[in-house]
Amino acid sequence: MNHPAGQLTAAPTIERRRIRVRGLVQGVGFRPHVYRCARQLGISGSVYNGPEGVVIEAQGCDLDAFTQLLRDNAPPLARIDSLIESPLALADDKGFSIVATKAGAANGAAIPADTAICQACLRELFDPTNRRYLHPFIACCDCGPRFTMTRRLPYDRANTSMSSFSLCTDCEAEYTDPLSRRFHAEPVACHNCGPTLSQNIQPVAEALAAGRIVAIKGLGGYHLACNASDHSAVERLRSGKLRDGKPFAVMVLNTASAAGYVQFDAAGGEALASRERPVVVLPTTGITPALSPALSPGLATLGLMLPYTAIHYLLFHALLDKPAGQRWLEQANELALVMTSANISGDPLLTDNAEAEQQLAGIADLILHHDRDIAARTDDSVLRMTPGANMIIRRARGFTPQAISLAVDGPRVLALGAHLKSTVAMTRGELAYTSQHLGDLDSPAAVAFHRQAVDALLDMLQARPQRLACDWNNDFASTRLAEQLSAELELPLLRVQHHHAHAGAILAEHRYEAAALAIVLDGHGTGNNGDSWGGELLLVNGGEFERLGHFAPLALPGGDRAAREPWRMAAGALQQLGRGEEIAQRFSEQPLASALQQMLATGSTPVTTAAGRLFDTAAGLLGVCSRASFEGEPPMLLEGLARQPRALARGYTLESGILDFSTLLATLADCEDPALGANLLHGTLVDALTEWAVQAARSTGVDTVALCGGCFLNAHLARELPKQLQKQGLRPLLASAMPPNDGAISLGQAWVAQRRSPATID
Ligand SMILES: [Zn+2]
Ligand SMILES: [Zn+2]
Ligand SMILES: [Zn+2]
């Protein structure tokens, strides 16, 4: 029988489904994306923000093609974690519509992170025919500030610092047009209706060109800027900031320009140009004649970042004599600007116009303000990209408040972090939210910022914690706040040992729930009986841990001062080696050397097992650094010197879990060549740590080793130790989404506290 061809094809069946999309789908232009996909395929229905993501009701012939298109063409900032579909009865829609966010829908949502200006906006910025030509606050659904301008949830314009700028007719039209790139883009603005700068870009550029120091208000705070090639300007900035020799970050226009100053591979280039736009610490090319040597004194690395706001690009445009067209954006040039956080002596970053005027008066020759308030103070993030050892050093702008996804659900824990590089964290469901980098809690302003960050986190998550967590150290401001909150909220407070928390942070981000070994190489952390720990081998079992081994204790003459003055650590080591009589002469340039020699000979000295102090001791013995001008300087200098690490034969002993480096230290004390000494230190450490882990794995049957603590910012350790452990059949876990240093402590505390059995909670 003959059939007409048409009858062979089944008539298209119309169906209707509810599609729940979870992931990073709110505040990233996802609803208009759904709208456009629906229009394209003739699908009817609606889309709205629900409590746990975006909810779509879709009706049409080919819903599989629709969900495929949703995934394939997702907006750049979106991330789809899951897409769950369920059938619905057919309904009578009038086309496809975007339904306004209902109150309370914010409950499962979070605020998106800030994003660097996108390519489309950048093109418009330098297109003389565009109505936003040279507009300093150009932004769209795919780019611009988010976290730093949001006061509260839900993420709607009324709850951001854009609320004081009413949209002009043209912007309003784009804001309400689902087919526009600016549909519900909360930072949308133009010359007619947006925020304004306190002065024109031209005089600011001229001041920079003339060697002046300029403060510039940005997304999360002020920067202090100057020409990075102008040595006297850089030195003046260094003395004006009233601090240390901490390296300054430098901004260059593009990766082509960066290549003139630093070495990077594809991953390094991607990190520089990523939409998070962090400062990326990279090895210098060694041929950087154009830059001031005072940027990162004595270090073999430089922190670079690319422009991330329209204001930055406008400055480069003006400084490069206003090239026409777009090609200059990709071309290499030598222009480099210092862009360092404007904070005074360890206080938090300045964000307020009046405060900036007052506090920066003595440093900045000129201040470029704008009239959009900064709702959440946020520093630049910092990454380190050395081939084979990529890591995040400071997690802030561009990353926060993105959550870390945990392996399992657990009680909601609010964790208060440690003291240095502090952050706070809270878990809700399977997600852990860590605050931006809050800094060291040394000043009342820093302590106040820490408290604000707690409130902001609780506000954002709109959930009450069930447990609190803090460090074992009772002197920390973070611990005191935890105790206060525990009383106020009547919640159990769980104290988590510092290095247990370090290990917890790594296991959290790797979603690793089984027992694991942890090698923690860190600065001081409080151990049993108030001992100072920090070179530890732990066996971690969720909420519990066992100390399997530690570094042999080193003398810590002068306590905290020893941590800042490596010559004191070196003196302590000489005393321990039975060579105390050398101290006064060896460190004769130190006024207290004789007194310290006597004190070490007669009195008792506190001790520490912290690995950070082993580096300090080596730096002091090798004469590389006798006084640190900033935390971490001695190990950074040693790392820069070590080009070919090799182990000293029998440079250490390992007995009953205790690693003793006395032989190595004795050799370093007599070593005339600091580079050789640095090589021996790194090589011997890697060998010793490998044997340490292998022995522990054998005795426990556990083969996974978390490598954590601030010392893993050292590229030799981060690259070589995992290789050696793998050769031995072990499985190393390193920090990647979070920093290995104390910036991850709050996450680790939360993870550990979630896993404590209720019986151990008082
Ligand atoms: Zn854009
Ligand atoms: Zn406008
Ligand atoms: Zn630590």
DSSP character at residue 284: B
User: Which has more pLDDT, 153 or 228?
Assistant: 228
CA distance 384 to 740: 12
Burial (CB count within 10 angstroms: exposed 0-12, middle 13-18, buried 19+), residue 530: exposed
Average pLDDT of span 72-82: 88
Confidence of residue 9 (pLDDT cuts 50, 70, 90): low
Which has the closest alpha carbon to 613: 693, 652, 558, 656?
A: 558
Residue 612: nearest ligand to its CA?
3
CA 451 to centroid of ligand 3, rounded, Å: 20
> Closest-lying ligand to the alpha carbon of 172?
2
| Residue keyed to tokens 């005339």 | 672
Residue 105 in this model has a pLDDT that exceeds 50: no
Question: What's the 740 CA to ligand 3 centre distance in angstroms?
Answer: 8
User: For residue 745, how far is its CA from the centre of ligand 3 (angstroms)?
Assistant: 7
pLDDT number for residue 29: 84
Question: Exposure of 3 by Cβ count < 10 A (0-12 exposed, 13-18 middle, 19+ buried)?
Answer: exposed
Task: Tell me the HSE value of 373 on the side-chain side, using a 13 A CA sphere.
Answer: 11
CA 53/CA 51 separation, integer angstroms? 6
For residue 229 the two structure tokens come to: 């090639």
536 exposed, middle or buried (CB, 10 Å; 0-12, 13-18, 19+)?
buried
For 651-680, give the secondary structure using H, E and C.
Answer: CCEEECCEEECHHHHHHHHCCCCHHHHHHH
Tens digits of residue pLDDT in 406-429 = 999 999 999 999 999 999 999 998
DSSP state of 102: P
Which residue intervals of 283-351 are DSSP H helices? 310-319
From the CA of 139, the nearest ligand is: 1
Rounded Cα distance, 354 and 253, in Å: 30
Residue 161 Cα, ligand 2 centroid: separation in angstroms? 16
CA 755 to centroid of ligand 1, rounded, Å: 42
Task: Considering every ligand atom shown, identify the ligand nearest to the alpha carbon of residue 610 and give its number.
Answer: 3
Q: What is the 499 CA–ligand 3 centroid distance (Å)? A: 6
Distance 190 CA to ligand 2 centre (A): 4
Q: CA-CA distance, 633 to 405, in Å (whole number)?
A: 33
pLDDT one-digit tens code per residue, 694-713: 999 999 999 999 999 999 99
Ligand closest to 189 (CA) is: 2
CA distance 213 to 218: 16
Cβ atoms 394, 450 nearer than 8 A? no
204 dihedral zone (left: phi>0; alpha: psi -120 to 50; beta): alpha
Interval between CA 192 and ligand 2 midpoint (Å): 5
**pLDDT value, residue 109:** 60
Specify whether the CB–CB gap between 449 and 438 falls below 8 A: yes
Residue 680 has pLDDT above 90, yes or no: yes
Task: Tell me if the bond preceding 203 is cis, omega within 30° of 0.
Answer: no
Alpha carbon of 728 to ligand 3 centroid (Å): 27
pLDDT greater than 70 at residue 10: no
pLDDT recorded at residue 152: 83
Helix axes 201-209, 310-319, angle to 10 degrees: 60
Amino acid present at 739: P
pTM of the full structure: 0.92
Asked if 747 and 505 touch (Cβ cutoff 8 Å), the reply is yes
Cα of 156 to ligand 3 centre, how many Å? 38
Would you state the structure tokens that stand for residue 258, as one six-digit string? 């960066």
pLDDT on residue 108:
54
Report how far ligand 3's centroid is from the alpha carbon of 521 (Å): 8
- Mean pLDDT (whole number) for 472-479: 96
Please state, in angstroms and rounded to a whole number, the distance separating the CA atoms of residues 275 and 270. 9
- For residue 556, which of 523, 585, 594 has the smallest C-alpha distance? 523
CA of 178 to the centre of ligand 1 (A): 16
Ligand nearest the Cα atom of residue 171: 2
What's the whole-number average pLDDT of the chain?
93
Which DSSP state fits 6? G
CA–CA separation, 144 and 560 (whole Å): 42
pLDDT beyond 80 at 616: yes
Give 523 Cα–ligand 3 centroid separation in angstroms: 6
What per-residue confidence (pLDDT) applies to 1? Answer: 44
> Which pLDDT value is given to residue 253?
98
What backbone phi and psi angles, to 5 degrees, belong to 520? Answer: -110, 115
> Could you tell me the distance, in angstroms and rounded to a whole number, from the CA of residue 696 to the centre of ligand 3?
22
CA dist 696 → 120, 350, 516, 689, 720 (Å): 55, 48, 11, 11, 19
Does pLDDT of 217 surpass 60? yes
Q: Residue 532: pLDDT above 60?
A: yes
How far, in Å, is the centroid of ligand 3 from the Cα of 611?
11
Instruction: Determine the distance separating the centroid of ligand 1 and the alpha carbon of 189, expressed in angstroms.
Output: 11
Handedness of CA 514, 519, 522, 525 (dihedral sign): positive
What Rg, from alpha-carbon coordinates, does the chain have? 28
Q: How far is the CA of 709 from the centre of ligand 3 (A)?
A: 5
Which helix (H) or strand (E) covers residue 203, if one does? helix 201-209
Pairwise CA distance, residues 23 & 18, whole Å: 17
**Tokens found for residue 194:** 């947006």
User: What is the C-alpha to C-alpha distance for residues 731 and 723, in angstroms, rounded to an integer?
Assistant: 10
pLDDT of residue 11: 65
Q: What is the Å distance from ligand 1's center to 126 Cα?
A: 13
Give pLDDT, residue 762: 55
Distance of CA 419 from the midpoint of ligand 3 (Å): 9
For residue 124, the ligand closest to its alpha carbon is: 1
Q: Would you say residue 587 has pLDDT above 80?
A: yes
Q: Cα(545)–Cα(61) distance, rounded to whole angstroms?
A: 57
Q: How many CB atoms lie within 10 A of CB 594?
A: 14
Query: Edge-to-edge strand order for the sheet containing 79-88?
Result: 79-88, 15-24, 53-60, 44-50, 96-98
**Weakest-pLDDT range from 10-24, 52-66, 697-711, 725-739:** 10-24
Taking the centre of ligand 1 as the mean of its atom positions, its distance from the CA of residue 188, in whole angstroms, is 9
Please choose, from the candidates 148, 205, 213, the residue with its C-alpha nearest in 3D space to the C-alpha of residue 319. 205
Report CA(68)–ligand 2 centroid distance (Å): 35
SS3 call for 488: helix
- Contact of 332 with 254, CB cutoff 8 Å: yes
Backbone angles phi, psi at 52, to 5 degrees: -120, 25
* Ligand 1 midpoint to CA 157 (Å): 17
The least confident of 152-156, 580-584, 586-590 is: 152-156
Helix (H) or strand (E) holding 84, with range, is: strand 79-88
| pLDDT tens track for 332-362 | 999 999 999 998 777 899 999 999 999 998 8
Distance 129 CA to ligand 2 centre (A): 16
pLDDT value for 50 = 77
What is the CA angle 40-41-42, rounded to 5? Answer: 100
The phi and psi torsions of 301 (rounded to 5 degrees) equal: -130, 165
Amino acid in the structure at residue 678: A
Q: Which ligand is nearest to the CA of 142?
A: 1
Nearest-ligand number for the alpha carbon of 117? 1
Please give the Cα distance from 503 to 522 (Å, whole number). Answer: 11
HSE-up (13 A, CA, CB side) for residue 574: 26
* pLDDT tens by residue, 251-292: 999 999 999 999 999 999 999 999 999 999 999 987 656 899
- Expressed in percent and rounded to 5, the helix, strand and coil fractions of the chain are 35, 20, 45
Q: Where are the alpha helices (DSSP H) in 241-352?
A: 255-258, 266-273, 310-319
Ligand found nearest the CA of 275? 1
* pLDDT at residue 86 is higher than 90: yes
Looking from the CA of 729 toward its CB, the CA atoms found within 13 Å total: 8
Under 8 Å between Cβ of 296 and 248: yes
Q: At a CB cut-off of 8 Å and minimum separation 6, what does 561 contact?
A: 568
Per-residue pLDDT band at 6 (split at 50, 70, 90): very low
Angle between helices 477-489 and 444-461 (to 10 degrees): 40
pLDDT at 26: 78
Q: How far is the CA of 122 from the centre of ligand 1 (A)?
A: 7
| Closest CA relative to residue 51, chosen from 110, 96, 97, 98 | 110
Alpha carbon distance 662, 327 (integer Å): 59
Q: What is the pLDDT of residue 5?
A: 46
For the chain, the first-to-last Cα distance in angstroms comes to 83
The residue type found at 337 is L
More confident residue, 337 or 604: 337
Q: State in Å: Cα 526 to ligand 3 middle.
A: 10
